[in-house]
């Protein structure tokens, strides 16, 4: 069914803009259609995203392109082992007159208009920084200069690479649970895209490449409102609710759902997790996907399309299996969808 | 016999000429004349009948005897069919039951025949006694000439069935007990019947597998099983029946694909199962209606998209199309996933 009827006309218009936004980002980031679709869903669900992947696959380029296309202020911080929360909030330096000065840091410099905050290499930062981010993500506020700063339009993107583990701090479960999605960015599989990325000089100069992206395609001040309206407009039937709960059960107790994975003791595999917040995020993401697909109802395909990214990082595996998370978590998600009957 | 008659005639002729002509002349020439006469006669002596007789004793009332007569004819001679014996009552105690001649007397005359005559004797003897089957004359034609060849008589001894004076007392006229019937040999027939039954059972099994009949339906021909279930309830026009039919078909598609099949997976699934591809449009309509029913506006809206009758008809077509699918494509079950 088409959403472009009656009062939903505005939503239909926004859908066109969202698809245009996807196309625009897709022009400079090749072979990552699925990642772009997921990030678009995150933008319209107002969720924070953690990107994971190898070095040099284009995570930063992708986020820069998105920030430019969304419009609004953009700030970026590199995570290091000696970075402290105050370094995000304040800018302490010696001024021209030789006296120490404390100015607003990267977070505060642009005030409440900040639309994208990009935290590079988040796992290199200390837990103190993680807790600041936790609050920023949960409440959209930071305390500074004796008052509370609000960031109503802020969306946080973070990335980390999984290659190095020295001098890193694993994100606490609470912080990971607050991320709307954890998206894996892989090297493009498409041969043509890879050839272009290597040989086309257009992709060698990232700054120039990013400047090709049209600026401010979406009005970042209205994103929150549109996200709310999407959530209200997309219908979820009792059947899909039952199905979602059955999926939840299957992931929490896979052995009871009859799921088996090779070389895994299913009753030990999952220790916990898959929180209610995670499930609500899942439905939020599914609604946005349904809207992007031009439907006014959630169908199981919507859940399946966003499930690994929204749910996998919330499932806590037994330590024995934790090292195999990269293969086990997606396999468990896939098995759940292969097992739970629809409808 | 004829030969001796002719010899006698020759001798008479000789004697007459002997009387008329001079004795010396006659004596000198008689041998040559007889020789000339003998040479002038056709080689009639070649025709003969030889009787191949059975044993000549040990017959009781009611027994049959088969006499076989080998008849050899001169070249050019023919057996007169009218002279053959006919089955008949020969005497008060003897019947000629059947007569058979090989080769049959036809247009082409043969040099040799075998005449087979079956007699039945009804002579109830009180003591062993010799009886005779009378001879039978056969007429032989050779051009205009006719001769008679006789099938010789046959003597045989009949015996009584019972003692004349019973040696152990009792009534000699009492009925003897019947002979117990011998069991008919059924072995080969039983073997054939068993073989036929095995072939029939195999054929029935093959048909059941091919048609997806119970209990072979489970899992292997999921769409056929679904179609049967839907056909069974097609008279129910309730929304619940419609809903159940949709769920039944979904489960069948799941079993067919070896995983839960969603609308977006149809393209890949139909490539795996090209036998169902001709129904692509209707399968998509089915999944569309199912979406409406379960996740959208509800069952009434879905029924306007895909009426119940269409759903029932589609399930039948899917079951038929499924038969074209190779067995390997049906092996996957949902339990095995992933």
CATH of the domain at A277: 1.10.8.80
Task: Tell me whether residue A178 is in a domain.
Answer: yes
What tokens appear for A32 in the block?
A: 């990552």
Does residue A251 share a domain with residue A221? Answer: no
Q: Say if B263 is an interface residue toward chain A (CB within 8 Å).
A: yes
Stated pTM of the model: 0.64
Report the pLDDT value the prediction gives residue B93, as an integer from 0 to 100: 94
Does B103 sit behind a cis peptide bond, omega within 30 degrees of 0 on the bond before it? yes
Does residue A137 share a domain with residue A244? Answer: no
Does residue A321 share a domain with residue A220? Answer: no
Does residue A94 share a domain with residue A23? Answer: yes
pLDDT digits (tens, 9 = 90+) for B215-226: 665 456 788 888
Query: How close does chain A come to B332, measured CA to CA in Å?
Result: 12
Mean pLDDT within B196-202: 97
Highest mean predicted confidence (pLDDT) among A170-179, A315-324, B30-39, B322-331: A315-324
Domain count, chain A: 2
Report the pLDDT value the prediction gives residue A86, as an integer from 0 to 100: 87
Task: Tell me whether residue A76 is in a domain.
Answer: yes
Domain coverage including residue A134: 6-226
Residue B67 binned pLDDT confidence (cut-offs 50, 70, 90): very high
Q: Which residues of A touch B296 (CB under 8 A)?
A: 1, 235, 237, 296-297
pLDDT digits (tens, 9 = 90+) for B289-310: 888 888 888 888 888 888 888 8
Does residue A267 share a domain with residue A160? Answer: no
Quick one: which H or E segment has residue A282?
Answer: helix A276-292
Residue B263 binned pLDDT confidence (cut-offs 50, 70, 90): confident
Does residue A153 share a domain with residue A13? Answer: yes
Q: Say if B251 is an interface residue toward chain A (CB within 8 Å).
A: yes
pLDDT digits (tens, 9 = 90+) for B4-59: 444 454 455 445 444 454 445 445 555 555 554 444 444 444 678 999 989 999 99
Q: Is the pLDDT of residue A302 over 50?
A: yes
pLDDT digits (tens, 9 = 90+) for A203-245: 788 788 888 888 878 888 888 888 888 888 888 888 889 999 9
Report the pLDDT value the prediction gives residue B17, as an integer from 0 to 100: 47
Q: Is the pLDDT of residue B325 over 80?
A: no
What percent of chain B lies above the pLDDT cut of 90? 26
What tokens appear for A233 in the block?
A: 């407009």
Task: Tell me whether residue A1 is in a domain.
Answer: no
Which phi and psi angles does A230 have, rounded to 5°?
-60, -45
pLDDT digits (tens, 9 = 90+) for B128-156: 999 999 999 999 888 888 889 899 999 99
Q: What is the 3-state secondary structure (H, E, C) of B121-172?
A: ECCCCCCCEEEEECCEEEEEEECCEEEEEEECCEEEEECCCCCCCCCCCCCC
Task: Tell me whether residue A254 is in a domain.
Answer: yes
Does residue A218 share a domain with residue A254? Answer: no
Q: Is the pLDDT of residue B171 over 80?
A: no
Domain boundary among A203, A226, A249: A226
Does residue A205 share a domain with residue A91? Answer: yes
- Largest Cα separation within chain B, whole Å, is 150
Average pLDDT of the residues of chain B: 80
Report the pLDDT value the prediction gives residue B42, as an integer from 0 to 100: 45
Rounded distance between C-alpha atoms, residue B158 and residue A269, angstroms: 105
pLDDT digits (tens, 9 = 90+) for A58-110: 888 888 888 888 888 888 888 888 888 888 888 888 989 999 998 888 888 88
Structural domain boundaries in chain B: 2-41, 48-158, 205-336
Q: Which residues of A touch B294 (CB under 8 A)?
A: 237, 239-240, 343
Report the pLDDT value the prediction gives residue B30, as an integer from 0 to 100: 55
Q: Is the pLDDT of residue B266 over 60?
A: yes
Question: Is A240 close to B338, i.e. CB distance below 8 A?
Answer: no
pLDDT digits (tens, 9 = 90+) for A152-180: 888 889 888 777 777 888 887 777 888 88
State the CATH architecture for B48-158.
Sandwich (2.60)
- Mapped onto helix, strand or coil, the DSSP state of residue B101 is strand
Does residue A157 share a domain with residue A13? Answer: yes
Question: Is B260 close to A239, i.e. CB distance below 8 A?
Answer: no
Q: What angle do CA A185, A189, A193 make, to 5 degrees?
A: 100
Does residue A165 share a domain with residue A130? Answer: yes
Mean pLDDT within B315-331: 72
Does residue A262 share a domain with residue A305? Answer: yes
Average pLDDT of the residues of chain A: 85
Q: Which of B56-65, B68-77, B101-110 has the lowest mean pLDDT?
A: B101-110
Which phi and psi angles does A316 have, rounded to 5°?
-100, 120
Report the pLDDT value the prediction gives residue B331, as an integer from 0 to 100: 47
Does A311 or A202 have the greater pLDDT score?
A311
Does residue A194 share a domain with residue A139? Answer: yes
Q: Say if A343 is an interface residue toward chain B (CB within 8 Å).
A: yes
Report the pLDDT value the prediction gives residue B22, as an integer from 0 to 100: 46
The residues, any chain, with a CB within 8 Å of residue A313's CB and separated by 6 or more, are: A50, A176, A179, A182, A329
CATH number at residue A114: 3.40.50.300
């Amino acid at each position: 069914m088409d959403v472009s009827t009656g009062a939903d006309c505005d939503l239909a218009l926004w859908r066109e803009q969202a698809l245009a936004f996807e196309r625009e980002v897709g022009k400079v980031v090749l072979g990552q259609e699925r990642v772009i679709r997921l990030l678009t869903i995150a933008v319209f669900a107002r969720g924070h995203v953690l990107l994971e992947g190898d070095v040099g696959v284009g995570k930063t380029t992708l986020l820069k392109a998105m920030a430019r296309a969304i419009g609004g202020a953009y700030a970026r911080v590199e995570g290091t082992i000696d970075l402290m929360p105050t370094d995000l909030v304040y800018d302490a330096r010696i001024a021209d007159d030789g006296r120490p000065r404390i100015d607003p840091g990267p977070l505060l410099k642009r005030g409440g208009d900040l639309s994208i905050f990009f935290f590079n290499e988040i796992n290199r930062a200390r837990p103190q920084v993680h807790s600041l981010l936790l609050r920023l993500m949960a409440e959209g506020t930071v305390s500074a200069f004796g008052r509370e700063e609000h960031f109503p339009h802020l969306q946080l993107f973070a990335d980390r690479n999984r290659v190095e583990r020295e001098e890193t701090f694993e994100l606490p479960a609470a912080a990971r649970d607050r991320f709307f999605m954890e998206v894996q960015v892989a090297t493009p599989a498409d041969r043509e895209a890879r050839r272009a990325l290597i040989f086309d000089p257009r992709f060698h100069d990232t700054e120039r490449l990013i400047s090709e992206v049209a600026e401010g395609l979406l009005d970042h001040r209205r994103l929150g409102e549109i996200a709310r309206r999407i959530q209200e407009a997309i219908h979820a039937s009792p059947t899909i609710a039952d199905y979602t709960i059955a999926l939840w059960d299957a992931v929490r107790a896979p052995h009871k759902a009859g799921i088996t994975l090779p070389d895994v003791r299913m009753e030990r595999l999952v220790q916990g997790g898959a929180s209610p917040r995670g499930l609500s995020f899942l439905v939020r993401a599914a609604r946005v996907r349904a809207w992007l697909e031009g439907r006014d109802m959630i169908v199981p395909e919507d859940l399946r399309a966003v499930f690994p990214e929204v749910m996998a990082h919330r499932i806590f595996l037994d330590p024995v299996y934790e090292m195999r998370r990269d293969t086990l978590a997606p396999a468990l998600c896939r098995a759940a969808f292969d097992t739970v009957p629809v409808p | 016999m004829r030969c001796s008659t002719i010899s006698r005639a020759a001798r008479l002729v000789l004697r007459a000429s002997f009387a008329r002509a001079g004795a010396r002349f006659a004596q000198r020439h008689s041998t040559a004349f007889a020789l000339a006469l003998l040479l002038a006669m056709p080689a009639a002596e070649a025709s003969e009948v030889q009787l191949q007789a059975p044993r000549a004793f040990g017959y009781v009332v009611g027994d049959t005897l088969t006499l076989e007569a080998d008849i050899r004819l001169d070249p050019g001679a023919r057996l007169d069919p009218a002279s053959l014996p006919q089955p008949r009552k020969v005497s008060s105690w003897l019947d000629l039951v059947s007569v058979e001649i090989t080769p049959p007397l036809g247009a082409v005359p043969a040099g040799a025949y075998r005449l087979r005559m079956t007699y039945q004797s009804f002579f109830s003897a009180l003591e062993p006694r010799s009886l005779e089957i009378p001879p039978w004359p056969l007429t032989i034609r050779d051009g205009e000439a006719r001769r008679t060849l006789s099938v010789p008589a046959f003597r045989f001894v009949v015996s009584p069935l019972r003692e004349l004076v019973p040696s152990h007392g009792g009534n000699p006229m009492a009925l003897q007990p019947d002979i117990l019937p011998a069991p008919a040999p059924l072995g080969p027939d039983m073997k054939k019947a068993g073989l036929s039954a095995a072939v029939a059972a195999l054929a029935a099994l093959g048909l059941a597998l091919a048609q997806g009949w119970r209990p072979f339906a489970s899992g292997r021909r999921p769409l056929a099983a679904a179609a049967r279930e839907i056909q069974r309830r097609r008279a129910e026009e309730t929304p619940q029946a419609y809903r159940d039919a949709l769920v039944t078909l979904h489960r069948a598609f799941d079993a067919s694909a070896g995983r839960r099949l969603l609308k977006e997976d149809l393209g890949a699934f139909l490539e795996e199962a090209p036998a169902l591809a001709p129904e692509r449009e209707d399968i998509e309509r089915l999944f569309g209606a199912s979406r409406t029913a379960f996740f959208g506006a509800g069952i009434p809206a879905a029924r306007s998209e895909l009426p119940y009758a269409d759903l029932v008809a589609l399930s039948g077509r899917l079951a038929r199309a499924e038969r074209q699918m190779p067995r390997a494509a049906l092996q996957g079950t949902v339990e095995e996933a992933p």
